[in-house]
Amino acid sequence: MSAMRLNEKLQAALEQQLNDHVASTIVKRGWHYYVEGHVNSANAGSHDNLYGVVQGEDLYAVILDAGHLRYSSCTCPYNGFCKHMAAVYFQYCSQQEGGHTLAERSYFRLLGLSAASSYVKVKAEQSIAITAPVALEVPRDPGLGGTALQWLEWMESVHGDTWRKCRHSLHALQPVLSSLKGLSKDWDKSLQRLHWSTAIVFVLEQAEHAITTVDSFSRYYHEMSFLRMAEPWVEHLNTLVSELTPESMEEEEELWADALVAHVKKRASSMEQQLFDWDHIYLVLSEKLSENQLWYKRELASMLELVNSSELQEDVNKDFLHSAIGSMYFFDNRDELSIEHFAQTSFEKSQKVMYPCAAERIEEGKWELVQHWMSFLFERVYKVKNSRTVGAFVTLCRRADQDRPDMTIWTEYMTQLLPHSYTELSEHWLNQKRYEEWADLQLLIGSKPEDVGAHALRDIAKQAPRVLMPIYHQAVEAWIQTRNRQGYRMAVKQLKKLERLYKADKDVSRWDNYIAGLVRKHQRLRAFQEELWKGKIVT
Give pLDDT tens digits for 483-532.
Answer: 999 999 999 999 999 999 998 888 889 999 999 999 999 999 999 999 99
> pLDDT band at 164, cuts 50/70/90?
confident
Condensed to tens digits (0 to 9), the pLDDT of residues 129-148 reads 333 444 445 678 899 889 99
Region of residue 414 (left: phi > 0; alpha: psi -120 to 50; beta: else): alpha
Sign of torsion over alpha carbons 127, 133, 136, 139? negative
Burial 292-331 (b: 16+ CB within 10 A, else e): beebbeebbeebeebbeeeeeeeebbbbbbbbbbbbbbbb
State the average pLDDT for the chain. 87
Condensed to tens digits (0 to 9), the pLDDT of residues 339-393 reads 999 999 999 889 999 999 999 999 999 999 999 999 999 999 999 887 778 999 9
How far from 350 is each of 189, 272, 301, 333, 392, CA to CA, in Å? 34, 17, 21, 19, 13
Q: Please give the pLDDT value at position 447.
A: 85
Choice among 30-44, 197-211, 369-383 with the minimum mean pLDDT: 30-44
Choice among 9-13, 100-104, 298-302, 310-314 with the minimum mean pLDDT: 310-314
> pLDDT band at 171, cuts 50/70/90?
confident
The residues, ordered by sequence, that sit 6+ positions from 114 with a Cβ below 8 Å of its Cβ are 108, 135, 136, 138, 158
Contact predicate 355/347, CB 8 Å: no
Contact predicate 421/444, CB 8 Å: no
SS (H, E, C) 71-92: HCEECCCCCCCCHHHHHHHHHH
Model confidence at 10: pLDDT above 90: no
DSSP class of residue 176 equals H
Q: Please give the pLDDT value at position 118.
A: 40
Burial class (CB in 10 A: 0-12, 13-18, 19+), 370: buried
Strands, E assignment, 32-170: 39-44, 49-55, 59-65, 73-74
More confident residue, 147 or 46: 147
**Distance in angstroms (rounded) separating the CA atoms of residues 302 and 268:** 15
Q: Please give the pLDDT value at position 448.
A: 84
The pTM (predicted TM-score) of the whole model is 0.69
Model confidence at 293: pLDDT above 50: yes
Q: Please give the pLDDT value at position 15.
A: 83
C-alpha radius of gyration, the chain, whole number? 33
Contact predicate 122/89, CB 8 Å: no
